């Protein structure tokens, strides 16, 4: 059984009102008589795209504000890393998801589901799906818990159970803040439908009230902080420095510790 690692932000999701099922009762979606598998009404996918960041020929320099330094993290080569979701059917309630991975060693699999972060164990994770929209982002990290920023290493699905509309805008740029635990000194995030450079977008990172403007989709190591509790907030901005609409694009304030 997997456990929730850490909750980073709240996904604003709309679920149709109605009588709640009993504790042991599950809602089934209607299927043709010949199909005995329980399936969602529909899964919205492949409308969103993951745009890999541009390869940098030169070393990206670190930058410092108020004694805090962000240093770009040198990723291992992960272009061939591939994550595949083997599970094809879903139901309301507990679901056991299985994955297969190729092209990378010493990896980790994480899943964002409706605003909560889970980590897979031996390529499997148990998740509870709700009646309505279930936004799920599955992704690979390397052994240092750095996100594999390749289309083949990230899966996005909106699993809609029951007769509901799709409330997630798959075509909108989205940002997801990622930290594997509250002691991580790495700054990392997922991007959907942008890699920043292709739209001239940017990420505003606020660390202890100090602002940084990030224009490269990379992981960064945070240094220069004293021991104790600190805060970080990420916001996805457009070319005019305005916050881009979306349920994830302002991560809110997240706390982490330096020991």
Stated pTM of the model: 0.81
Query: What stretches of the chain adopt beta strand conformation (E)?
Result: 4-7, 42-44, 63-65, 68-72, 82-85, 93-102, 108-113, 116-119, 124-129, 132-141, 154-161, 174-178, 186-192, 202-207, 210-214, 220-223, 228-237, 254-258
pLDDT per residue over 130-172, tens digit each? 999 999 999 999 999 999 999 999 999 999 999 999 988 888 9
HSE toward the beta carbon, residue 248, CA cutoff 13 A? 25
Asked if residue 206 is part of any domain, the answer here is yes
Mean pLDDT for 178-196 is: 94
Instruction: Count CB-CB contacts under 10 A for residue 163.
Output: 11
Contact in structure between 29 and 41 (CB atoms under 8 Å): yes
- Joined together, the tokens standing for residue 192 give 């959907």
- Rounded Cα distance, 176 and 11, in Å: 10
Phi, psi of 146 (to 5 degrees): -95, 130
More confident residue, 91 or 78: 91
In the numeric block, the tokens 């159970």 are attached to 161
Confidence of residue 42 (pLDDT cuts 50, 70, 90): low
- The count of structural domains within the chain is 1
* Contact (Cβ atoms closer than 8 angstroms) between residue 113 and residue 5: no
Cα gap 162→78, rounded to integer Å? 38
Instruction: Tell me the C-alpha distance between 37 and 34, whole Å.
Output: 9
- Percent share of the chain, pLDDT over 90: 67
For residue range 91-123, what is the model confidence (pLDDT) as tens digits?
999 999 999 999 999 999 999 999 899 999 999
Q: Would residue 110 count as lying in a domain?
A: yes
Confidence at residue 9, expressed as pLDDT on a 0 to 100 scale: 38
Q: Rounded to an integer, what distance in angstroms lies between the CA atom of residue 150 and that of residue 147? A: 9
CA atoms within 13 A on the CB side of 257: 5
Domain limits for position 179: 4-12+62-258
Question: Measured on CA atoms in the order 180, 192, 175, 169, is the torsion positive or negative?
Answer: negative
For residues 193 and 48, give the distance between their C-alpha atoms in angstroms, rounded to a whole number. 6
Q: What's residue 8's pLDDT?
A: 39
């Amino acid at each position: 059984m997997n456990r929730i690692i850490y909750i980073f932000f709240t996904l604003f999701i709309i679920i149709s009102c109605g009588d709640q099922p009993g504790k042991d009762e599950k809602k089934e979606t209607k299927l043709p008589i010949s199909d005995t598998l329980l399936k969602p009404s529909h899964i919205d996918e492949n409308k969103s795209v993951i745009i890999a960041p541009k390869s940098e020929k030169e070393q990206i320099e670190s930058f410092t504000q108020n004694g805090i330094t962000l240093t770009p993290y040198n990723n291992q080569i992960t272009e061939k890393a591939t994550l595949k979701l083997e599970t094809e059917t879903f139901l309301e309630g507990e679901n056991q998801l299985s994955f297969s991975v190729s092209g990378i060693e010493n990896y980790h699999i994480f899943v964002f589901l409706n605003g909560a972060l889970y980590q897979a164990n031996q390529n499997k994770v148990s998740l509870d799906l709700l009646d309505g929209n279930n936004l799920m982002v599955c992704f690979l990290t390397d052994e240092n818990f750095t996100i594999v920023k390749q289309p083949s290493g990230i899966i996005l699905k909106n699993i809609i159970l029951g007769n509901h509309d799709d409330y997630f805008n798959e075509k909108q740029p989205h940002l997801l803040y990622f930290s594997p635990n509250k002691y991580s000194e790495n700054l990392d995030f997922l991007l959907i439908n942008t890699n920043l450079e292709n739209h001239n977008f940017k990420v505003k990172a606020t660390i202890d009230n100090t602002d940084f403007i990030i224009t490269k989709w990379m992981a960064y190591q945070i240094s220069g902080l004293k021991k104790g509790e600190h805060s970080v907030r990420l916001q996805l901005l457009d070319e005019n420095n305005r916050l881009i609409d979306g349920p994830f694009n302002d991560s809110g304030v997240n706390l982490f510790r330096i020991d």
